[in-house]
Structure formats: structure tokens, C-alpha cells
Amino acid sequence: MNVIFTKPDTAYTRTIAAICATGWRQTVEGKLSEEYKKKNVDSWYRHERVFNDINEGFYSHVALIDSEVVGVMVAE
């Protein structure tokens, strides 16, 4: 398996949003209400916001396997 790290492209918006939302949900599992989790995900990981965040450089890299995004790194 060959992992490639590259700069994110807006073509990956939907996948980046899904990966980040899943990771955040796993982080807060059992700690926050379902209602709060849904509101947070709807705010932070909606398509338009992630698209803009990619353009603004918020995400520094994505990991690709066979041209599929499998991981996301946030810029600091």
C-alpha cells in the first residue's frame, strides 16, 4: 500500500468533511448529547465551510491511497 501526502483540493471537500466529522464524533462519543453533536457537525463540517477552509489553507495535507482520500491534516 502506497500512501501519498499532498495538498488538499476542493474536489475532496465531501470526503474531508466526512473524515473530520467522523473523527470528531469518535472523540466526543459518550460525552455530548446527540443534539449537540449534530449541531456541531452541521456547523463545522458542512460542505460550504469545508470548501472555504480548504481554499484558506486550514487543511494542510490529505493522505491518498489509490487516489482516494483516507486522512486529513490540519494546518497549525
**In the chain, domain spans:** 3-74
Write down the pLDDT at residue 73: 96
What's the pTM value of the predicted model, to 2 decimals? 0.92
Instruction: With cut-offs at 50, 70 and 90, classify the pLDDT of residue 3.
Output: very high
Instruction: Quote the CA–CA distance of 61 and 31 in Å, as a whole number.
Output: 29
Query: Is the pLDDT at 76 greater than 80, yes or no?
Result: no
**C-alpha cell belonging to residue 71:** 486522512
Among candidates 23, 2, 31, which has minimal Cα distance to 73? Answer: 23
Question: In the CATH hierarchy, which fold is given to the domain comprising 3-74?
Answer: Aminopeptidase (3.40.630)
* pLDDT tens per residue across span 15-74: 999 999 999 999 999 999 999 999 999 999 999 999 999 999 999 999 999 999 999 999
Q: What's the pLDDT score for residue 75?
A: 87
